[in-house]
Amino acid sequence: MIESTELLRKLSQASGVTGYEDEVRQLVHEAWEPLADEIRTDTLGNLIAIKRGAGDAPRPTIMLAAHMDEIGLIVSAIEGDFLRFSTVGGVDLRTIVGQEVNVHGTESLPGIVATRPPHILTAQERSRVIPLEKLFIDVGLPEETLRQHVQVGDLITMRRDLISLAGEFVAGKAIDDRAGVVSLTVCLDMLRGMRHTWDVYAVATTQEEIGLRGATVSAYGLTPDIGIAVDVGFGKQQGVSDSKIIDMDAGPAIAMGPNVHPKMHERLVATGKQHELKYQTEVIAGRSGTDGWAMQVSRQGIPTAVLSIPLRYMHTTVETICTRDIDRTGRLMALFITGLDEAFGEELGIEKGADA
């Protein structure tokens, strides 16, 4: 049985800014190796674990995707003893002021996103968001030493340990979407003790945060018959309207809308009901912004579903989640997979080998 909190802790604290997912990929590889029949990395760094089904070959396939990259920063220039930086993915500049970071130069250097003391600022200056051009990172080294250790293009991650809150809630960085990766792990682990006829591709995707790039190429490469993307969704929190959110500690939200094949949605809901799992539903009116958006239009089109794990404070270093929801998501997927049969394939009109 996977200890999901501990795995999440490891993954959350690892570095893996978009395009540079090596460290987190290594950890996911270690977690998945005992659970899969085969494991490999593709051209864009997606980690693909294959768990074969018990049916006759050629077997239909399902792709599960959760992204392992995280938003971050990148060194764009060295100016005196300070570093200028750019953002990778949707970083909210308001949340990083005064933040501790790691600058991944020749070694990992602790740094601080510099702030000017409020005492010397005017009231007007204090009321404005500090633009990127006025933000610097200070690693406390003089220019000469700094230049020996850091170059333009070095990655910067947030320095933040995962902490446990009350009620099996945890908070930390990059839970978007390492929580999804953990749910895939829970699913693979459960499947070891269950019979399933379809082949399962579990994919920890890369470069989601700058445009679903890993999912685009891995879906093309794998050509699955159906797909599920797991990502985090906006959990209920202060200051956000109720119609835009899902409930915390209420299980994964099974999405509906143009991005989701109606039969996939139906079957997931039925699975949840049948096994008395906690789940909720949510409506996504158009672009889901998840790997599912890319998977659905791969090649000739793939029947796709999207699961959202409720999460508060998205794209900050205090992303907060209930670990029970992660387990519930993994369980829902595993039970969905064990229920996949020929009839469901026919219902979806799956034509094996149609692309050849």
Which residues carry out catalysis?
A: 208
- Which run of H or of E encompasses 229? strand 226-234
Give the burial string for 280-293 (b: 16+ CB within 10 Å, else e). bebebeeebebbbb
If the CB atoms of residues 118 and 286 are measured against another protein, the closer one turns out to be: 286
If the CB atoms of residues 245 and 318 are measured against another protein, the closer one turns out to be: 245
Q: How far is the CB of 77 from another protein (least distance, A)?
A: 4
Distance CA 348, CA 345 (A): 5
Phi, psi of 52 (to 5 degrees): -75, 150
Neighbours of 164 (CB within 10 A): 13
If the CB atoms of residues 50 and 318 are measured against another protein, the closer one turns out to be: 50
If the CB atoms of residues 32 and 85 are measured against another protein, the closer one turns out to be: 85
Q: Which residues contact 144 (CB under 8 A, 6 or more apart)?
A: none
SS (H, E, C) 238-250: CCCCHHHCECCCC
Q: Which residues contact 77 (CB under 8 A, 6 or more apart)?
A: 83, 84, 152
Q: Fill in the DSSP letter of residue 17.
A: B
Contact of 40 with 163, CB cutoff 8 Å: no
- Per DSSP, helices labelled H in the chain are 4-13, 22-32, 123-126, 143-149, 175-191, 213-222, 262-274, 291-296, 323-338, 342-347
- Give the 3-state secondary structure of residue 128: coil
If the CB atoms of residues 213 and 315 are measured against another protein, the closer one turns out to be: 213
Distance CA 304, CA 291 (A): 10
Q: How far is the CB of 185 from another protein (least distance, A)?
A: 24
Q: Which has the closest alpha carbon to 138: 168, 116, 153?
A: 116
Residue 309 is which amino acid? I
Q: Using CB under 8 A as the criterion, which residues of the chain lie in contact with another protein when the complex forms?
A: 18-20, 42-44, 46, 74-79, 84, 86, 88, 133, 151-153, 207, 210-211, 213, 216-218, 220-221, 241-243, 256-262, 281, 283, 285-287, 296-303, 348-349
If the CB atoms of residues 254 and 334 are measured against another protein, the closer one turns out to be: 254
| CA-based radius of gyration for the chain | 21
Tokens linked to 261: 């094949």
Tokens linked to 327: 């387990």
If the CB atoms of residues 167 and 301 are measured against another protein, the closer one turns out to be: 301
